[in-house]
Amino acid sequence: MSDRWEYYPIITPNGVTNLSKESGPNQIDTDFERLLNFIKGKDVAQIKEAVMRNLRHFKATNSQLYNNSMDYYNQYKLWGAYRPEEKEFEMADNRAHALVDHLEDFEWLYQNLKDYRSKRILVNILYYWLMSDPKKIGQIKDGTFYQYFDPDLVQCSEEEVFVDIGGYIGDTLINYSKAFGKNCYKRMYCYEIVPANIEYIEKNVELFQLDNVIIRKKGASSRNGTMFLSSNVLSSISQLSEAGSFDVPIVKIDDDIEEDVTFIKMDIEGGEEEALLGCIEKIKENHPKLALSVYHNHKDLWKLPRIIYEADPSYHFYLRYYGSAILPTEYIIYAI
């Protein structure tokens, strides 16, 4: 990796000045290489200490933002809680294990992302896991398009069969119709597990006059059977478990939809891997476009693309970021 810098003149309102430009590899490749070189040769304990040292620096330099961020992590617990005053370091452990144990997987993903926008997003997320620097996330925040529907990547036709896994209140169906038009599909399937959410889906489908929408009151998984919910409260973060107050049927998409599908979206609070495994035959046979949430843990970011690639290596991968400008949420893998 070169440390040389070259200078070139540009014209500014104040006259001609010089800006530095690093020679050799572009800046995104260089940043990724530096991250790899820092992690390689270190064990989990060393990276965990680096993560915690950077978290202490974050707290010292911006205590309010630090507290807000930790409150978020501790509330949702998807990435592990972090309460150092109570000797609870699960989030730091999880970040360290992800960076050390799966560095080769992140290298594989980086090489298989098809544009530099995707690569920059991946690099900044990994840097954030190590550094807890909000500026890394502010750089990749982009609200240009609807989540799941980047028109530079996804084009839809009147023959589209769209499968919305994790329908919440029907907001994705509405955004699809806004992005592509109400007549730009043949059929929509919407899977949702929370009865209170389903009531809103039904109302929104009627309100926005969406035709040919099939609402499945089921969860998507790698098997057919039953799982449980602990609550029927309107929520976007409900998760299925092996016990609870409300039973929910779960199905493989491969078995539950008889027709060919062309586009699958998933956002199911960490259940994406199991749901994806239940779509493998559709992926092999229909080659649908995929837009998958990969932010609910530290593994889906690399693991879901691996599963897709093993099923069909002709897929191209892109990463887009739709979340907070402070901490990484709402990042999506597109497989096309």
Residue 9 has pLDDT above 80, yes or no: no
User: Is residue 213 very low, low, confident or very high in pLDDT (cuts 50, 70, 90)?
Assistant: very high
Structure tokens at 106: 């992140």
Of 15-24, 129-138, 212-221, which gets the smallest average pLDDT?
Answer: 15-24
pLDDT of residue 253: 98
Please indicate whether residue 184 or residue 20 has the higher confidence score (pLDDT). 184
Residue pair 24/116 in contact (Cβ under 8 Å)? The answer is no
Write the pLDDT tens digit of every residue in 259-292. Answer: 999 999 999 989 999 999 999 999 999 999 999 9
Longest dimension (CA), the chain: 70
Which residues are bridge partners to 213 per DSSP?
A: 188
Write the pLDDT tens digit of every residue in 165-186. Answer: 999 999 999 999 999 998 899 9
Q: How far is CA 283 from the centre of its chain?
A: 19
Closest by CA position to 111, among listed 100, 119, 99, 121:
119
Q: Return d(Cα 164, Cα 251) in angstroms, integer.
A: 14
Residue pair 292/270 in contact (Cβ under 8 Å)? The answer is no
pLDDT of residue 246: 80
What's the whole-number average pLDDT of the chain?
91
Q: Return d(Cα 315, Cα 238) in angstroms, integer.
A: 30
pLDDT of residue 182: 87
- Helix segments in the chain, DSSP class H: 27-39, 44-61, 63-76, 90-101, 103-112, 116-131, 134-138, 171-180, 195-207, 253-256, 272-277, 280-286, 300-311
Q: Radius of gyration over alpha carbons of the chain, in Å?
A: 22
Q: What SS3 state is found at 310?
A: helix
Alpha-carbon torsion, ordered 52, 53, 59, 65, to 10 deg:
-60
Question: Sheet holding 246-251: strands in order across?
Answer: 219-220, 246-251, 225-229
Residue 134 has pLDDT above 70, yes or no: yes
- In this prediction, residues 60-68 reach a mean pLDDT of 97
pLDDT of residue 247: 85
Q: Return d(Cα 110, Cα 208) in angstroms, integer.
A: 40
Residue 87 has pLDDT above 70, yes or no: yes
Which residues are bridge partners to 246 per DSSP?
A: 229
Closest by CA position to 317, among listed 287, 291, 278, 280:
291
pLDDT of residue 248: 87
- In this prediction, residues 41-51 reach a mean pLDDT of 97
Please indicate whether residue 254 or residue 246 has the higher confidence score (pLDDT). 254
pLDDT of residue 229: 78
In order of 75, 167, 179, 209, 296, the CA distances from 242 in angstroms are 22, 21, 37, 37, 19
pLDDT of residue 13: 56
